[in-house]
Structure 1
Amino acid sequence: MKQITLGHVNFKPFSVAMSLVFLLSGCSLLPKEQEALAPPLLEPAATQYETETVTRIDLIDAYEARAEFQSTNSADVYYRELGQRVKEVHVKPNQAVKKGDLLIELEQDDLPFQVQQQQINLNEAKLDVESALERKKEQEKLQSDIQALKNEMTKVDNEIKEQKDKIRATDNEEKLIERQTKLDSTEQKKLQIEQELAMKELQQQSMSDINRDIQRAELNVERQQNQLNNYRTKLEASLITAPISGIITSLAKLQAGEMIEPFQTLVTISDPNSLRLVSKPSGNRVNELSVGMEVIVTIDGKELNGEIFDLPDENAPDKDISIEVKDIPSSIDLGERANIKIIFEIREDVITIPASAIRNYEDQQVVRILDGDNLTEVGVQTGLKVDDRVEVISGLEEGDQLILR
């Protein structure tokens, strides 16, 4: 830009002569010892303009913003129960952790004792099941013995009948005595079987429904096991560990003794090996973006190629703009910042001027230019507007001195 000075004034000879006459006549009124001083001749202030030389450039219409590399694989860590207090925090922000590492330790109260006592209750319940199963074996054996005695009784009854038939058919006194003796022995055996069978059947009647006892004992084992699992879960939950390996990207401000809220995010862990560029949406031109559009990513002066992966929508208007970057250098770290540019249109080698230099007269756009010391108004036709610059399609040439103000 340059400053231009205009408006030099020329004084006519007549005006000068009249001024001298007035001054000479006035001098006679002054004391002789003083002489009147002639007033200085002042030129009017020159008009100054701020100008810009018209040139050609590439005019790029684009969405530009700042973005940050975030992980596509992250995990929020929280606690489900109510009324738990912090005992100790074992990690710091930006710390690298491995899966299973201890993050936060909560107060355990009497949980270890409850786990120990519940284990005893479970062991007792298991003994009840074992005892019931043993009784079932005894009952099954008793039933087997009763059936065996009944079979034996049937066999003895058949022998008695057979022996009685033989006695009736025997004429020989000696054989009759022999067969009668054998019959008496068999009947005595039957009596013994009957007594033993009656005793076992009475013993069977005294036994309860063993299957129901077993089922009840097994249900008690399940109940005690569930309670033990509950205590163990609470005990394990009091030691909050890392679900994945990564970097601590968020850590709640927690003090020892402070109570935590259920489902409050305590820690966020992000995998630094799976990165995606994320940008907060800004301005109304976000609506002009679409998934798949190419993105120029600039980091430390180096350009990378990317494309839009995800955008805000009517269901999630505050969602970030997600960008997949191709061939991310290994030197890029989680949380590193970058500039993004998403180009809508490019006009190459065109004349552009500041929008503020354009004046509107009815339906015509006009700018002022300097041609030497002469100011001229020129009508222009404009095209693409990007921020404060406007493309001039006609009306100006390279080298014109555009008056800005």
Structure 2
Amino acid sequence: MAIKRKYIIITAVVLCIIAIAAFAGSFSTKKSEKFFVVEKGPFEASLNCKGEINGLVATPIPMPKILGDRELRIWQLKILDLTQDGKYVKKGDFIIQLDASQIISGMREERQKLETEEADLKNAKIDSTVRLTELREDIKNAKLDLEYNKIDLEQSVYESAAYQRKAQMTYQKAENLIAKKQRDYQLEQNKLKMRVGRSEERVKRSKEKIDKFQQAMQAARITAPEDGIVIFGESWDGTKYSKDGNISTWSNGPPIATLPDMSEVLSETYVKEIDISKINVGDKVNVSFDALEGVVINGDIKSIARVGEDHKDFDMKVFKVIIHLDESNDGLKPAMSSNNDIILASEEQALFVPINAVVSENGEDFVYLSNHSNKQKTPVTTGVENEAFVLIKSGLQEGDKVILNPLLEEN
């Protein structure tokens, strides 16, 4: 029993010693974390944003203009087949095959219409020939009558004055009749000419439309205009074009696909409106890639959008930023994700303090210096910050001891 009691006492003493040591270590650690001694050293701050790379120059593959011709009345076509997105192709290689059934159906209807129009034209020409022949025959007969009346007029000199007057009037009437028949002939000729002309125009338009359908048939198979990597565009709902999907024939719309030239590369990214004032055109950028481990390429900001926009991946306005990479890499592919670290500040010798040492009051920044047992509130001018530290432009000097979390210390 005495041995058991002795064992319990020894155990309790050991536990007390461990607890005291732990408390002392905790106190020592807490005390060491209460201050930060200002020193000069290298400081860098950056703004990280995800982006997507692409070639500086890209050859667009638009919807063939003939397919968007309103006269054909084809508003959208089904995609029967297409090459693999991201595949390298050469000039003339297959890109996409569109369903031509609407084109074939339209051309068949137009051919039937052409047959009718050609038949109407043939009939119009026959009718014109027959009618004008009849009118010319009437004029010819009227001229013969005029000759008879002329002879009668000439012989009337041997007759009475009344007969001479009658012969004169008959001759004038025959002349007037010929003039009328000639005018009627001219009017009928113009009328029939217009009828034939309208028929010829309808036949011409129908033939031209059939020719357009034939061009559209050929255009339904789209090939690469240049060498490059195929990047397909998106439909109105934001989805990539794919097999069995529909595509609008609007020729002024976005391209069906592009062939980027990856010899010069850009990264397109978006910066939140709260951060946009921190960056400027020309700022240096370190660009890395999830798909290429260890590859980092330098670049700089080429342009910053003047107007913010809404974006589905952000809960506030963002500004589009274009970054130009100083060089390319064989492993870079269009639409590959990039990590863009925009350098906000990079100094070899700078003063900086932990973020939790700075207090903001009424738009001004302060730190609390530790001077033996006293606390001295000191205004400072801050610069950019990184994840842990903030740059101090003025107000402190090397060796100053600032208090961490000074407001908590007061409590």
Separation (CA, whole Å) in 1 of partners of 2:95 and 2:320? 34
Q: Which runs of 5+ in 1 are unaligned?
A: 1-29, 169-189
The residue number in structure 2 matching 1:175 is none
Change (3 A) 1:139 1:96: farther
Measure how far apart 1:153 and its partner are.
Answer: 4.4
Q: For residues 38-49 of structure 1, what are the structure 2 equivalents within 5 Å?
A: 45=24, 47-48=28-29, 49=32
C-alpha contact (below 8 Å) 2:272/2:318 kept by paired residues = no
Measure how far apart 1:125 and its partner are.
Answer: 1.3
The residue number in structure 2 matching 1:93 is 85
Change (3 A) 1:136 1:263: closer
C-alpha contact (below 8 Å) 2:270/2:321 kept by paired residues = no
The residue number in structure 2 matching 1:279 is 269
Aligned residue identity for 1:277:
S
Q: Which residue, out of 365, 381, 384, partners 1:383?
A: 381
- Residue deviations 1:110-152 (CA, integer Å, cap 9, x gap): x646634641431341242144134324544544454455445
Measure how far apart 1:302 and its partner are.
Answer: 4.2
Aligned residue identity for 1:94:
G
- Residue deviations 1:313-364 (CA, integer Å, cap 9, x gap): 2688767614263876586653355554656677773311112245799996
Change (3 A) 1:69 1:224: same
The residue number in structure 1 matching 2:292 is none
Q: Which residue, out of 270, 285, 303, partners 2:258?
A: 270
Q: Which has the larger radius of gyration?
A: 1
Separation (CA, whole Å) in 1 of partners of 2:211 and 2:354? 73
C-alpha contact (below 8 Å) 1:69/1:277 kept by paired residues = yes
Change (3 A) 1:59 1:137: farther
Q: Tell me if 1:55 matches 2:39.
A: yes
Q: For residues 240-319 of structure 1, what are the structure 2 equivalents within 5 Å?
A: 241=222, 245=226, 247-250=229-232, 252=240, 254=242, 258=244, 260=246, 268-273=256-261, 276-282=266-272, 284-286=274-276, 293-299=281-287, 300-313=295-308
Query: What is the number of residues matched between the two proteins?
Result: 328
State the SS of the aligned residue for 1:325: strand
Change (3 A) 1:216 1:391: closer
TM-score computed with the length of structure 2 as normaliser: 0.55
Structure showing the higher helix proportion among its residues: 2
Separation (CA, whole Å) in 1 of partners of 2:401 and 2:318? 47
Q: For residues 109-188 of structure 1, what are the structure 2 equivalents within 5 Å?
A: 112=104, 115-116=107-108, 118-155=110-147, 157-162=149-154
Q: For residues 198-237 of structure 1, what are the structure 2 equivalents within 5 Å?
A: 210-211=192-193, 213-214=195-196, 217-218=199-200, 221=203
The residue number in structure 2 matching 1:353 is 353
TM-score computed with the length of structure 1 as normaliser: 0.56
Aligned residue identity for 2:391:
E
Separation (CA, whole Å) in 2 of partners of 1:114 and 1:268? 24
State the SS of the aligned residue for 1:366: strand
State the SS of the aligned residue for 1:303: strand
The residue number in structure 1 matching 2:168 is none
C-alpha contact (below 8 Å) 2:86/2:334 kept by paired residues = no
State the SS of the aligned residue for 2:284: strand
Change (3 A) 1:394 1:219: closer
Change (3 A) 1:318 1:104: farther
Separation (CA, whole Å) in 2 of partners of 1:348 and 1:306? 22
State the SS of the aligned residue for 2:271: coil
State the SS of the aligned residue for 2:275: helix
C-alpha contact (below 8 Å) 2:40/2:398 kept by paired residues = no
The residue number in structure 1 matching 2:97 is 104
C-alpha contact (below 8 Å) 1:294/1:342 kept by paired residues = no
Change (3 A) 1:261 1:329: closer
State the SS of the aligned residue for 2:124: helix
Change (3 A) 1:367 1:122: same
Task: Among all aligned residue pairs of Structure 1 and Structure 2, give the percentage whose two residues are the same amino acid.
Answer: 11
Separation (CA, whole Å) in 2 of partners of 1:154 and 1:105? 73
Measure how far apart 1:93 and its partner are.
Answer: 1.1
Measure how far apart 1:279 and its partner are.
Answer: 0.3
